[in-house]
Chain A
Amino acid sequence: MGRGHGGTRSGSGTVATTERGLSQKVARAVTQMEESIRTNSFESVHAFDDMGNETYQKQGSAKDAYRVTGIDVKMLKDKVVTHNHPRSLGKSGIKSIGNSLSPSDIVTAVVSDAREMRAASPRYTFSMKRPAGGWGVSEKELKSRYSSVVRRINKLDSAYIKSQNYKVAAIERAEATYWHRVNKALAKSLGWDYSKSKKK
């Protein structure tokens, strides 16, 4: 099951795989925001333009801390969009990794034609980047592809958990890496660029 990605060495130092392709200005603005929100107990979403300016932000509520609802997709077009995933806050062991991007994150990225969708958990950053030619799928096609990928991963997980005699550790491992493995498979099937990097 999923191992983390590291970084790539460039002339100016190590660039995390999640920051590949971003200008220094945008990467700085986005990662600074992620550092400021990754340990928040409620979710918030932030969009950045090509100059690194924050052009949109919306917060979840304390009552509904793990979601941000009512997103205006028009505001996300061509933007680098990031948000935090607080669900793993305060958890230890493999559960502290946090969730990768969810289907609703990716569907929102495609529907809004965002340039990139990112999520920051307390320990990791996850990213799905729009290919140069565009996302290349309709919402309907994407959902159908997702359903097929999750069915395949669920089948693999069931076999793995069974082979481990339903040990809680095995179930927790499957749970903790679930969306990362789904996104890896989805990106591979659609020719997208998916990555994750550990917080520095």
Chain B
Amino acid sequence: MENLIKEKCELYGVDPSVLTENELAALKKEIEEEKRGLRILDSILDNPEIRYRNLK
């Protein structure tokens, strides 16, 4: 799972260390769905505020 989280964060250009516990849980749920062959439109990682939250 850690690798899949890293891979997904890389796709979205997000550092996994900035994610909150809730965001991480939602991301794991997305990954589980994708493993079952289902797709999502939009991800918890879309939120533009995640990317630069450490700079504010």
Interface residues of A (CB under 8 A from B): 43, 45, 66-73, 83, 85, 87, 99, 102-105, 107-108, 111-112, 143, 146-147, 150-151, 153-154, 157, 161, 166, 168, 171, 174-176, 178-179, 182
Contact of A66 among B12, B29, B46 (CB under 8 A): B46
Contact of B39 among A104, A150, A168 (CB under 8 A): A104
Instruction: Compute how far the CA of A83 lies from the CA of B7 in the bound complex, rounded to whole angstroms.
Output: 25
**Least distance between B53 CB and chain A CB atoms (Å):** 9
Asked whether any CB of chain A lies closer than 8 Å to the CB of B41, the reply is yes
Structural contact, A103 and B43, CB atoms closer than 8 A: yes
**Least distance between B9 CB and chain A CB atoms (Å):** 10
A146 cross-chain contacts in B, Cβ below 8 A: 11
0/1 interface trace, chain B 10-42, chain A, CB 8 Å (1 if under): 111100000000000000011001000011111
Structural contact, A72 and B11, CB atoms closer than 8 A: no
**Given A108-B39, A175-B48, 12 further pairs, Cβ under 8 A:** A67-B43, A68-B40, A69-B38, A70-B38, A72-B38, A102-B42, A102-B43, A103-B11, A105-B41, A112-B39, A147-B11, A179-B48
Q: B-side binding surface: helix, strand, loop or mixed?
A: helix
**Least distance between B16 CB and chain A CB atoms (Å):** 14
Q: Residue on B with the closest CB to A174? A: B52
Give how many B residues have a beta carbon under 8 Å from the other chain's beta carbons: 24
Contact of B40 among A71, A153, A166 (CB under 8 A): A71
What are 26 contact pairs spanning A and B, CB under 8 A? A45-B41, A66-B42, A66-B47, A67-B42, A68-B40, A68-B42, A69-B30, A69-B38, A70-B38, A71-B38, A71-B40, A71-B41, A99-B48, A104-B39, A104-B43, A108-B39, A111-B39, A147-B13, A151-B13, A153-B13, A157-B52, A171-B55, A175-B49, A175-B51, A176-B48, A178-B51
B12 cross-chain contacts in A, Cβ below 8 A: 102-103, 150
Instruction: Compute how far the CA of A151 lies from the CA of B51 in the bound complex, rounded to whole angstroms.
Output: 12
Instruction: Compute how far the CA of A176 lies from the CA of B44 in the bound complex, rounded to whole angstroms.
Output: 16
The 8 closest A-B pairs by CB, nearest first: A150-B13, A175-B48, A71-B39, A102-B46, A68-B41, A70-B38, A67-B42, A108-B39
